[in-house]
A and B are shown apart, each in its own frame.
Chain A
Amino acid sequence: MYAPDSILIVALAVVLGWLAVGLLGSLRPQSIIFRQLLFTLGALGGCILFIASIFALERPAENLVLPLGLPDLPFHLRLDALSAFFLSLLGAVSAGISIFAAGYFRDEEPGRFAFICMFYHFFLASMGLVMLADDAYLFMVAWETMALTSYFLVTLDHKLAHIRNAGFIYLLIAHLGAIAILLSFGVLHGGHGDYTFTALRNAALTPFWATVAFLLAFFGFGAKAGMLPLHVWLPEAHPAAPSPVSALMSGIMLKTAIYGMIRLIYDLIGNVRWEWGMVVLVIGTITTLFGVLYALMQHDLKRLLAYHSVENIGIILLGLGMSMVFIGFGHPAAGALGLIAALYHTFNHAVFKSLLFLGAGSILHATGLRNLNDMGGLIHKMPRTAFCFLIGALAISALPPLNGFVSEWLTFQTALQALILENGVVRSLVPLSAAALALAGALTAMCFVKVYGVAFLGQQHEPRHVPQGVFHGGDATHLERAGMAYLAACCFLLGLFPSTVLLALNRVAVSLNGEGLTPAALKSNWLWLVPTAPAQASYSPVILFLVIVVVVLLTFIFVRNFYHGRVRVSYPWACGFPERTTRMQDTADAFAQPIRHVFGPLYLMTRHLPAPDDAVPRYSVKIEDRHWYWLYLPVARLTGFISEKLGLLQQGQIRVYLLYSFITLLTLLVLVV
């Protein structure tokens, strides 16, 4: 019924379609309808890709060789279960973002729009190619295209110095990562001259070289994912880009790094060792806690969301690490569960983080504000955006019945399998990392109470910053709302029907591990999610959701009918204090005060408190990332020092350079003779 590689061709067609849409942008960028049409076409491509890759999940891997690229180095493409899963993520999430973008880029100047449209769609296409690539050469080409296109999108406002800086740091760390990945491929390939993934997969490595390849791949992809201590580009680059681009970067691009990690570690290197898993687990735990603790300190909404991306990458790594530990000790079923939890969280994070970034974009367009402390009471001005944002906030806080909870719950269930581990230390550390995850979940909830409470609820704060750009003051436009509503619906669907996702992800686990979940877990149906066995744990979000809804409705009807619904509207009581101004509300920084108190030593904090006789009392607190001081600045100084010394060689006089050549020749002659 199908041609052997029909789905791969569909996926490739979508990628080419995105490239075409990107080029079409410069055709008539001044027409608003044309602009909306282009991005809607892009979204359509996403939908097609999603549907195609869902079919691909159930079918055996497809291969294709394209006679492109360098002579003797054709492009190899492959669509297996892992690629299919990540392509479905790319398709589903980018569809929502593109619909939003169709409305969002309405007011851009024509030239700028053509630029955005081109790089936006090239960016999408390169991410698709990364997931389809089946040789190291195409993979690196696509990977670099992805880094460059996103770099141009980040530095869209390159006339501002801080945005140029952000772009530079991003490009720098992206390339550090790329070098590590390249070296990892080099180690894997072992001098055979064949860079197809099939050859890399079959290469036999000694444990030492396998570990080297693992470390290079882990840190190389970790740099792109925003793993500690290579995370510093994330809080700079995400706020610099326009919101749909931030959503793409945080929601999908970080996930290509997770894809690369899984592809290399599970598939190409293979024979996963538990020591590797411990490295991933420990770094994942630290990343999780660091991300959320720094997110709590932020008052720039997009920066805050960027730190939450760091946290969520940590959660994904936690799941991956547990999975690798279990596989390393020879427990494939528990390993599959951890892998599924990590993959599930990958998808969930893509959905809710994109939703939140899009919401931040709508706020920026409505108010021109990015600082939470200037907002307040937005729920009255933009109720629909507020509703969608609330869904996203509940989802990221890992609350049932939404999607964030399911993947964290699966991670907790994975940690509970720790009893079967043979090593006592590892057995105790795995539950402790789960405790760190619980702490991070509760801190995330606190952070989103802060975001939602300060920005959307209460009353408008006194703005202390001038709004930037043009702003319309109202709710998001239709297309923007459609994009957000779609992603919010995804949060619900992924949260309410987790078994469907679980069974689909099991195929990925089987294709990588050879073995999947326990037979009892495969009996999960749409109502019951059973990760291991019914007696061990089960979860039914549909029942949870229905009971809460039914009780809420019944209580409402009951109270209204048996009592009354009389309401008097009045000033807030506030313990009877006569004077109240909007300045008495908590700001984002005030709300995080308990965190600064409890976790104080973890921050690099400079505080300024007023003296009793100050005429104009000023309070200020500045939180900085310690990594700049112990890691980045020393490295930067060292680089500066070395290049300064090397600069002495460069005298700018031809005779000196001729002298260098002469000395080199002499040395070579001496060596040869």
Chain B
Amino acid sequence: MNQFTGISLQILQSVFVVLAAPLLIGWVNICRAWLQNRSAPSILLPYYTLAKLFHKDAVIASHASPLFRTTPYILFGCMWLAAGIVPSLATNLPFSPAADIIALVAVFALARMFSALAAFDTGTAFGGLGARREMLIGFLAEPAMLMTLYTAAFISGSTSLDTIVASQAHQTFSIHPSLAFAGVAFSMVLLAENGRIPVDNPATHLELTMIHEAMILEYSARHLALIEWAQAVKLFVYMIIGFALFIPWGIANASDPAGLPLAFVALVAKLVTAGLVLALIETLLAKFRLFIAPEFLSSAFLLAVLGMLTYFLNRT
């Protein structure tokens, strides 16, 4: 493989993830509608919403600083970066080593910090409230996330996503009980980090419960569109990280482009299933009170630690 095809494959992969991300949101919404006995919207609805938002005039609070207007672009940039680095279709791309899994999580933290700051910028009660709650979820999720990643990293001896995938997908099939713990913990963190039920409800505007929505309350038009899009990409990327850590089978190696069609089919199958599971979780569970979230996420942390200890025990 020469450098040029590698780079173009990487750019292609990031464009694919960014463009396909709203489709996943559409799919989750359809599944939710089915499960709740509603008639489902079109799967393309998120795209229509984005297009509508881009055409509107942006309304900006009078005392907002330039930070408020820059943040949506920064969020979008961070998510695009993540979309380019995670191995969605192929591993061994030239720029994938630019960030290992810990750096990738830190990129999400960067996006979170900027959106919390922008929430403060409008100087309203809701902005501060949303920022406060979002940072609460953030610091609760971070240790659990790190322990999950450590478990996977200890097994493959690496924090690079490529190596983690390679050590599991391209080698003999083996089952690690520790990965089961880590997988459950990761799913819990995924729900919390992406503002899904039971931690947050992406469809609410009730001031007592909203977290992420409270932060972006003052955004409108193109800024809102970019934030919503970035949010969709974040969910997509998180799912791909989950696939890479726990069910990496089917992914192609960049040096062998013939595997790409199979990788594509595998990815779609995994996403369809994951979307269905996500909709199922969101239908079966009710949203927790805000201060149940610490318990939820500390159990995720404990599960991840158990996973790590199980691995240590198995090894000795």
B261 interface residue per 8 A CB criterion: no
A568 touches B128 (CB 8 A): no
Measured in the bound complex, the distance between the Cα atoms of B140 and A409 in whole Å is 19
B48 beta carbon closer than 8 Å to chain A: no
- Majority secondary structure, A binding face: helix
Q: Are B113 and A551 in contact (CB under 8 A)?
A: no
Query: Is A443 part of the binding interface, using a Cβ–Cβ cutoff of 8 Å?
Result: yes
Least CB distance, B234 to chain A, in whole angstroms: 14
CA distance A591 to B134 in the complex (A): 11
Determine if B217 is an interface residue (Cβ-Cβ < 8 Å): yes
Cβ contact of B135, chosen from A394, A445, A559, cutoff 8 A = A445
The range of chain B's interface size is 35 or more
Q: Give Cα distance in the complex from A380 to B291, angstroms.
A: 35
Contact A446:B136 (CB < 8 A) given known A435-B143, A555-B77? yes
CB distance from A337 to the nearest CB of B (A): 13
* B61 and A586 within 8 A (CB): no
On chain B, the residues within 8 Å of A669 by CB distance are none
Interface string of B137-155 (1 = CB under 8 A from A): 0111111011100100110
Interface residue from A458, A547, A549, A563 paired with B84 (Cβ < 8 Å): A547
A392 to B37, CA, bound (A): 51
Question: In the complex, are the beta carbons of A399 and B110 less than 8 A apart?
Answer: yes
* Contact stretch, chosen from B156-164, B250-258, B262-270: B156-164
Inter-chain contact B63/A377, CB cutoff 8 Å: yes
Say if the beta carbon of A412 comes within 8 Å of chain B: yes
Which residue of B is nearest A446, CB measured?
Answer: B135
One of A129-137, A183-191, A222-230, A592-600 at the interface: A592-600
Q: Of the 9-residue stretches A147-155, A535-543, A605-613, which lies at the interface with chain B?
A: A535-543
Residue interface bits B44-76, CB-to-A below 8 A is 1, else 0: 000000000011011111111101001001101
CB <8 Å contact, B106 and A398:
yes
Interface of B is mostly: helix
Min CB gap A318→B, angstroms: 14
Q: When the two chains form their complex, are residues B157 and A449 in contact, meaning their CB atoms are under 8 A apart?
A: no
Cβ-defined contact, A535 with B136, below 8 A:
no
For the complex, is B226 an interface residue (Cβ under 8 Å from A)? yes
Task: Type the 1/0 row for B83-125, where 1 means its CB is closer than 8 Å to any CB of A.
Answer: 0100000000001011110110011011011001101111111
Question: Once the chains bind, are B121 and A431 in contact (CB under 8 Å)?
Answer: no
Within 8 A of A (CB), among B203-228: 205, 207, 217-218, 222, 226
- B139 near A446 (CB under 8 angstroms)? yes
Interface hits, A407-422 → B, CB 8 Å? 409, 412-413, 415-416, 419
Within 8 Å by CB of A551, from B76, B147, B157, B217, lies: B76
Report yes or no: B128 in contact with A445, Cβ–Cβ below 8 A: no
Q: Give Cα A586 to B98, complex, Å.
A: 38
* Residues on A with beta carbons closer than 8 Å to the beta carbon of B291: 594, 597-598
A518 within 8 Å of B (CB atoms): no
Whether the pair B143, A380 counts as a contact (CB closer than 8 A) is no
B73–A416 CB distance below 8 A = no
User: Are A575 and B107 in contact, with the CB atoms below 8 A?
Assistant: no
* A438 at the B interface (CB under 8 A): yes
Task: Verify B123–A582 contact, CB threshold 8 A.
Answer: yes
Closest to A594 in B: B136
**Which chain A positions have C-beta within 8 A of B80?**
547-548, 551
> Known interface pairs A409-B103, A458-B122. Does A442 touch B109 (Cβ–Cβ under 8 Å)?
yes
A424 close to B (CB within 8 Å):
yes
Find out whether the CB atom of B100 lies under 8 angstroms from the CB atom of A538. yes
Asked if B132 lies at the interface with its beta carbon under 8 angstroms from chain A, I say: yes
User: B58 is contacted by which of A443, A555, A567 (Cβ under 8 Å)?
Assistant: A567
A405 contacts the other chain (CB 8 A): yes
B191 contacts partner chain A, Cβ-Cβ < 8 Å: no
Select A555's contact among B76, B81, B120, beta carbons within 8 Å.
B76
* B161-172 to A contact mask, C-beta < 8 Å, 1/0: 001000000000
B22 to chain A, nearest CB (A): 15
Contact B110 A394 (CB under 8 A): yes
One of A431, A537, A555 near B159 (C-beta < 8 A): A537
Q: How far is the CA of A549 from the CA of B74 in the complex (A)?
A: 8
Q: In this assembly, does B12 line the interface, its C-beta being within 8 Å of a C-beta of chain A? A: no
Within 8 Å of chain B (Cβ to Cβ): is A240? no
Partner of A376 from the list B76, B123, B226 (CB cut-off 8 Å) is B123
A472 within 8 A of B: no
- Are B77 and A571 neighbours in the complex by a CB distance under 8 Å? no
**B117 partner residues in chain A, CB cutoff 8 A:** 449, 452-453, 457
Chain A residues closer than 8 Å to B199, beta-carbon distance = none
Q: A375 CB to closest chain B CB, in angstroms?
A: 12
Q: Are the CB atoms of A590 and B128 closer together than 8 Å?
A: yes
Taking a contact as CB atoms closer than 8 A, the residue among A424, A434, A457, A595 that contacts B121 in the complex is A457
Of the residues A379, A398, A551, A580, contact of B124 by C-beta under 8 Å: A580
**What's the nearest-Cβ distance from chain A to residue B313, in Å?**
8
Fill in one digit per residue for A294-331: 1 if any B CB lies within 8 Å of its CB, else 0.
Answer: 00000000000000000000000000000000000000
Interface with A: B235-243, B279-287, B301-309, which one?
Answer: B301-309
Q: Within 8 Å of chain B (Cβ to Cβ): is A544?
A: yes
Contacts A438-B143, A586-B120, A586-B128; A574 near B59 (Cβ below 8 A): no
Q: Which residues of B contact A412 (CB under 8 A)?
A: 102, 146, 159
Question: In the bound complex, do residue A552 and residue B120 qualify as a contact, i.e. CB atoms below 8 Å apart?
Answer: no
Contact residue among A544, A559, A593 (Cβ-Cβ distance under 8 Å from B107): A544
| In the complex, A400 has a CB within 8 A of chain B | yes
Residue with the greatest number of chain B CB neighbours at <10 A, chosen from A409, A438, A448, A539: A438
Q: Is B312 an interface residue (CB 8 A)?
A: yes
In the complex, what distance in Å separates the CA atom of A574 from the CA atom of B65? 17
Query: A536-B163, A538-B160, A598-B294 are contacts. A439–B77 as well, Cβ < 8 Å?
Result: no
Which residues of the other chain, B, contact A428 by a CB distance below 8 angstroms?
A: 308-309, 312
Report the nearest A residue to B226, measured CB to CB.
Answer: A555
Q: A459 an interface residue at 8 Å Cβ cutoff?
A: yes
Report A420-442 CB contacts with B as 1/0, cut-off 8 Å: 00001001100110111011011
Minimum CB–CB distance for A408 against chain B, Å: 8
In the complex, A436→B77 CA distance in Å?
29
Question: Which residues of B are at the interface with A, using a C-beta cutoff of 8 A?
Answer: 54-55, 57-65, 67, 70, 73-74, 76-78, 80-81, 84, 95, 97-100, 102-103, 106-107, 109-110, 112-113, 116-117, 119-129, 131-133, 135-136, 138-143, 145-147, 150, 153-154, 157-160, 163, 205, 207, 217-218, 222, 226, 291, 294, 301, 305, 308-309, 312, 316
Q: Which 6 A-B pairs have the closest CB atoms?
A: A586-B128, A453-B120, A458-B123, A442-B139, A446-B135, A572-B61
- What are 6 residue pairs bridging A and B, where the CB atoms are less than 8 Å apart in the complex? A409-B106, A442-B143, A454-B120, A535-B158, A568-B58, A586-B125
